[in-house]
Homo-oligomer: A and B are copies of this chain.
Amino acid sequence: MPNNLHVCLSPALIPLYAVEEYNVVIIDIFRATSSICYGIDNGAVAIIPVSEVEECAAYREKGLDYLLAAERNGEVVSGFDFGNSPFSYTKEKVAGKTVVLTTTNGTHALHLSRSAKKIVIGSFFNLTALSNWLGQQNQNILLVCAGWKNNFNLEDTVFAGAVIERLKCNDFILDDSAIAANDLYQIAKNDLSGYLAKTSHSERLKKLGIEKDIAFCLNIDITTAIPVLQGEKLVKLK
């Protein structure tokens, strides 16, 4: 019996899936899951995703091994170590540290998926490593697009399509959203940044002055680590 390969196009649709029957991949390309993949690959001991700046600030009291990442409107919040740019997650900055990352959309998607068999983190950075691992597990797969405030977005969907492309040789049953995601990836794949430049989210991020982050998040296979949720922390899958 082939396994299912399904795509959930918004966190608001997660309740439609029996998540306990899936390995779940959380996808938030611009920029949370890209930064998480980069940070874990660069030696961060763990990354703790939280929804609110206040939750993040509460970690300050726990000691100096925590780096706190919080942003509002593209600026690092006063008193925090850095924002959500993947460029903050270099070896020099995060190796050996635990990072507390404020990410509303990503945390929401993680929370709704918490009964999954396993929850892992995907981005273009770890596309091939992630797809290979998924293909070896003999489990149903649910690719969850974190979106933007529960709205569908193209960048997360196109990434889901890229994963599906790499899993096609396996014998999965696709749902309609998986077919759509893969078809959109076929259109986008030869010029990812050109294709995604027309999206609403990309426009919004441009206004925040973070075009460099966006361009960087579209780099494919620059990492191999697969972040996996253990309790409240994302750590490197062994």
Contact = CB atoms under 8 A, between A and B. Distances in A.
Interface of A: 9-10, 12-13, 16, 149-154, 157, 175-177, 179-180, 183-184, 186-187, 198-201
> SS class of chain A's interface: helix, strand, loop or mixed?
helix
A180 B154 contact: yes
Copies of this protein in the complex = 2
B175 A157 contact: no
21 contacts: A9-B10, A12-B13, A13-B150, A13-B151, A16-B149, A151-B175, A151-B177, A152-B176, A152-B180, A153-B176, A154-B176, A154-B179, A157-B180, A176-B200, A176-B201, A179-B198, A180-B180, A183-B183, A183-B184, A183-B187, A186-B187
A12 B13 CA distance: 7
A175 B187 contact: no
Contacts of A12: 12-13, 16
Contacts of A179: 154, 198-199
